[in-house]
Copies of this chain bind each other. A is one copy, B any other.
Amino acid sequence: MNVDGKHFRTIWMNEADESIIEIIDQRHLPHEFVIEQLTTVDQVAVAIKDMHVRGAGLIGATAGYGMYVAVASLAPDSYISGDEIMRQMVTDGEKLKATRPTAVNLQWAVERQIAAMAAAGDDLSAKIAVAKQTAIDIADEDSDWCRRIGEHGVDIIEKISQVKNGETVNILTHCNAGWLAFVDYGSATAPMYAAHDKGIKIHVWVDETRPRNQGARLTAWELGQHGVPHTVIADNVGGHLMQHGQVDMVITGTDRTTYTGDVGNKIGTYLKALAANDNGVPFYTALPSSTFDWTMRDGVKEVPIEQRDATEVRMIQGLHDGEIKQVLLTPQDSPAANYAFDITPARLVTGLITERGVCDASEEGILGLYPEKK
């Protein structure tokens, strides 16, 4: 999507030197737009581990480019056999996989690269060429799936817009399921960008999403850069807005959705779904099908909920006099708890917006779109 009027993805190859990978270092957002160059697999590992990049789709794409950087940075003049190259690739792949052990897309992208390079003949340049193409494919596929989520989701927004006679459609979102979490478009944001680009009048209520404030920091920034009207609100506000008819629909992303339609997403999503349900506001979750968990039946009982460091609740960072500073919010001695996700039961979800179309949040609905998973 656009940054300051120019199109960007979250990761790309340097135009002049395609062995250099460039990313948006998201740690500095929204206060600074920093582009970082990555030329070694170690730099890529740090970028994933220290969250210069984050989000399932983007982590997968970064790992894909990371394996390309790994093979491209092998000295081309020293003789290396195909087996030696692959041994090095497995080592580098393990290094990448260790950075975020629970990120499924990361494992998957590394394995896909290793399989592609292993099948590419012994020549280093052949392996580099295959790895480069595979990295591009992974990123393009991610972008393409998100674009298609946008195409399916925009129909829902357009219908609401028609019912409102073209008046602004107010959409509430939680956390950042935006293009910054993928390669382009995002999941929850894809229908919003598609609607905005199509000239449908929308306005987005952006939950700040405590404790890590991905909404206030990232979603607000990317919507603003692309020119989408939006307003940041505290996570407490959505229910009040829905009671007063100021929300026409909710669209969230998800970190894991069961094949029965229970939506695991950033903590607080469940509360918004309850309010949407109580006020007759449609609640949608947008996801590429790679986010479905085809083994879990009961989200509340089965999905493990990560507990993160309490410091994320007790401290917050922001801009003070031009510098990013951390401040303490709580009494020194008060403990804090930091549950990262919650589960929104399928009964509260109006529909799922996937790259194949929109379906009910139910086993029947999901397997109807993905019959090969039966």
**Residues on A facing B (Cβ under 8 Å):** 30-31, 205-206, 208-211, 213, 216-217, 220-221, 223-224, 230-241, 243-244, 266-268, 270-272, 274-275, 278, 300, 305, 313-320, 325-339, 341-343
Q: Which secondary structure characterizes the binding site on chain A?
A: mixed
Q: Are B320 and A216 touching (Cβ within 8 A)?
A: no
The residues of B that contact A314 with a CB separation of less than 8 Å are: 232
* Nearest chain B CB to A274 CB, angstrom units: 4
Give the docked Cα–Cα distance between A342 and B320 (Å). 31
Q: Smallest CB-CB separation from A207: which chain B residue?
A: B236
Give the docked Cα–Cα distance between A343 and B208 (Å). 21
Q: Are A328 and B336 touching (Cβ within 8 A)?
A: no
Q: Are B235 and A235 touching (Cβ within 8 A)?
A: yes
Give the docked Cα–Cα distance between A176 and B201 (Å). 39
Give the docked Cα–Cα distance between A110 and B208 (Å). 40
* Nearest chain B CB to A227 CB, angstrom units: 11
Known: A316-B316, A317-B327, A328-B320. A336 touches B270 (CB 8 A): no
The residues of B that contact A220 with a CB separation of less than 8 Å are: 330-331, 334
Q: Are A330 and B236 touching (Cβ within 8 A)?
A: no
* Nearest chain B CB to A297 CB, angstrom units: 16
Q: Are A271 and B267 touching (Cβ within 8 A)?
A: no
Q: Are B326 and A320 touching (Cβ within 8 A)?
A: yes
Q: Smallest CB-CB separation from A213: which chain B residue?
A: B329
Q: Are B278 and A313 touching (Cβ within 8 A)?
A: no
Q: Are B343 and A329 touching (Cβ within 8 A)?
A: no
Q: Smallest CB-CB separation from A241: which chain B residue?
A: B339
Q: Are A336 and B233 touching (Cβ within 8 A)?
A: yes
Q: Are A329 and B216 touching (Cβ within 8 A)?
A: yes
Q: Smallest CB-CB separation from A312: which chain B residue?
A: B234
The residues of B that contact A241 with a CB separation of less than 8 Å are: 339
Give the docked Cα–Cα distance between A208 and B314 (Å). 10
Give the docked Cα–Cα distance between A295 and B305 (Å). 46
The residues of B that contact A209 with a CB separation of less than 8 Å are: 236
Known: A240-B267, A243-B270, A268-B239. A327 touches B334 (CB 8 A): no
Q: Are A334 and B275 touching (Cβ within 8 A)?
A: no
The residues of B that contact A223 with a CB separation of less than 8 Å are: 334
Q: Are B317 and A233 touching (Cβ within 8 A)?
A: no
Instruction: Choose one: B233, B316, B337; the contact of A231 (CB below 8 Å).
Output: B337
3 closest residue pairs by CB, A with B: A236-B268, A318-B327, A30-B331
Q: Are B234 and A211 touching (Cβ within 8 A)?
A: yes
Give the docked Cα–Cα distance between A332 and B322 (Å). 11
Known: A237-B268, A316-B318, A328-B319. A232 touches B336 (CB 8 A): yes
The residues of B that contact A243 with a CB separation of less than 8 Å are: 270, 300, 342-343
* Nearest chain B CB to A28 CB, angstrom units: 12
Give the docked Cα–Cα distance between A338 and B235 (Å). 11
Give the docked Cα–Cα distance between A247 and B348 (Å). 21
Q: Are B239 and A270 touching (Cβ within 8 A)?
A: yes
The residues of B that contact A300 with a CB separation of less than 8 Å are: 243-244
Q: Are A267 and B329 touching (Cβ within 8 A)?
A: no
Q: Are B335 and A236 touching (Cβ within 8 A)?
A: no
The residues of B that contact A274 with a CB separation of less than 8 Å are: 239, 271, 274-275, 278
Q: Are A313 and B271 touching (Cβ within 8 A)?
A: no
Instruction: Choose one: B216, B217, B224, B234; the contact of A235 (CB below 8 Å).
Output: B234
Give the docked Cα–Cα distance between A205 and B232 (Å). 26
The residues of B that contact A333 with a CB separation of less than 8 Å are: 224
15 A-B contacts (beta carbon < 8 Å): A208-B329, A223-B334, A230-B334, A232-B314, A232-B330, A232-B336, A233-B336, A233-B338, A234-B267, A236-B271, A237-B342, A238-B271, A239-B268, A240-B270, A318-B329
